[in-house]
Amino acid sequence: MSVLKQIEDLIELQKDTLKKIEEKENLITKIKDLNSRVEKRINDLRRSNDALKDRLESLSRTADGQSVEAWGQHSDEDDGEFTDRAEQDYYDSRRAADEIDVIEQEIAWNEDKIDELKGNIGSYKNNIQRLRSMISTYGKDIENHKLRLGKISDEITNILNAPGSPSTNESFGQPSGKILEIISYHYLSTIISPGESLEIVGGKGDNGVDLKIISSDKMVAVVQCKQGNLEGKGPAIVRELIGTCIIHGVKKAYLVLTSDTITTSTRETINLAETKGIQITEILAPTLKIHFSKLNLESFKDLVQLFTSAK
């Protein structure tokens, strides 16, 4: 496996690991939020039970005392019939007794619910501990990724410290997508106009743009990088780039290719773009190889970090 391929694989692995960490941290946040809501529900149920118990105590006094007293005070009046007051007191006591049954059932239900919610909280805590353990493992994985990147630094140094040698060109080979973008980014940063800056775009929904050039907070050019054997595909790629320029409202584009030359039909399509007011500049493998051979190790490692954090 080439050094460049190793770097790209490590970049992808590190990105995936960081994404997993982010997902687990988001899940922990959601569980903590759910836990807080459950704890609030428990407190609400406890307050409800306290109020119900106070009401229960009051009703118990009514049911146990008032009805007996009312019956005793009024049972001998009017030839054994209750007075209106006695009758009302009696029915009040019966309603109190009925309400006591309902309240006792509600208190029991609340207690069962509290026990159930406490069990949920225990489960939440276990899940959080498990997720934190996974995050710790992912953190160790990232450290291992960094160590592996460090171990291949010597190989990168050998490539970078051999300007123009056959080994340099062979090592450059056919860089895969993200490595090509890294080299293109560094090369373009040396030729863009003062006041312009580069931004990394790549990914889903990029509309065919890998890098974009910004000036005064406005996109002024797009960059598309294509690696591999593009024989016969050149004109179609250029037409696609013309469409991308139109979509983004820019008049300037860079087409980065890993081929040594472009075909006549590709050149004609580029010239056609100029008749539509769109300037397309091709950057080919020989230029990239020369620039790659001059790229120092620290710059390359900084760019690897830049692309790792941006995508």
Residues 58 and 143 in one domain: yes
CA pair distance 284, 263, nearest whole angstrom: 12
Residues 177 and 218 in one domain: yes
Residues 41 and 126 in one domain: yes
Residues 91 and 199 in one domain: no
In a domain, 237, yes or no: yes
In a domain, 160, yes or no: no
Residues 109 and 192 in one domain: no
The DSSP bridge partners found for residue 281 are 254
Residues 263 and 123 in one domain: no
Tens-level pLDDT at each residue, the chain (311 residues)? 445 566 667 777 777 888 888 888 888 888 888 888 888 888 888 888 888 888 777 777 765 555 444 445 544 545 444 455 556 555 666 676 777 788 888 888 888 888 888 888 888 888 888 888 888 888 888 788 777 766 665 555 554 444 443 334 444 555 656 677 878 888 898 889 999 998 888 555 556 788 899 998 899 999 998 876 667 788 999 999 999 999 999 999 999 988 888 889 999 999 999 998 999 999 988 888 777 766 655 566 666 665 555 54
CATH code of the domain covering residue 82: 1.10.287
In a domain, 116, yes or no: yes
CATH code of the domain covering residue 253: 3.40.1350
Task: List pLDDT tens digits, range 159-170.
Answer: 444 444 333 444
Residues 42 and 170 in one domain: no
Residues 211 and 84 in one domain: no
Find the domain containing 65 and state its range.
3-151
In a domain, 247, yes or no: yes
Q: Which of 96, 118, 151 is the last residue of a domain?
A: 151
In a domain, 157, yes or no: no
In a domain, 243, yes or no: yes
pTM across the whole model: 0.47
> How many domains, in total, are found in the chain?
2
Lookup result for tokens 């959080």: 128
Task: List pLDDT tens digits, range 13-66.
Answer: 777 888 888 888 888 888 888 888 888 888 888 888 888 888 777 777 765 555
Residues 147 and 206 in one domain: no
Q: Are 52 and 106 in contact (CB under 8 A)?
A: yes
Q: Which of 127, 151, 175 is the last residue of a domain?
A: 151
In a domain, 159, yes or no: no
Residues 244 and 179 in one domain: yes
Q: Which of 151, 173, 188 is the last residue of a domain?
A: 151
Residues 231 and 194 in one domain: yes
Residues 233 and 262 in one domain: yes
In a domain, 202, yes or no: yes
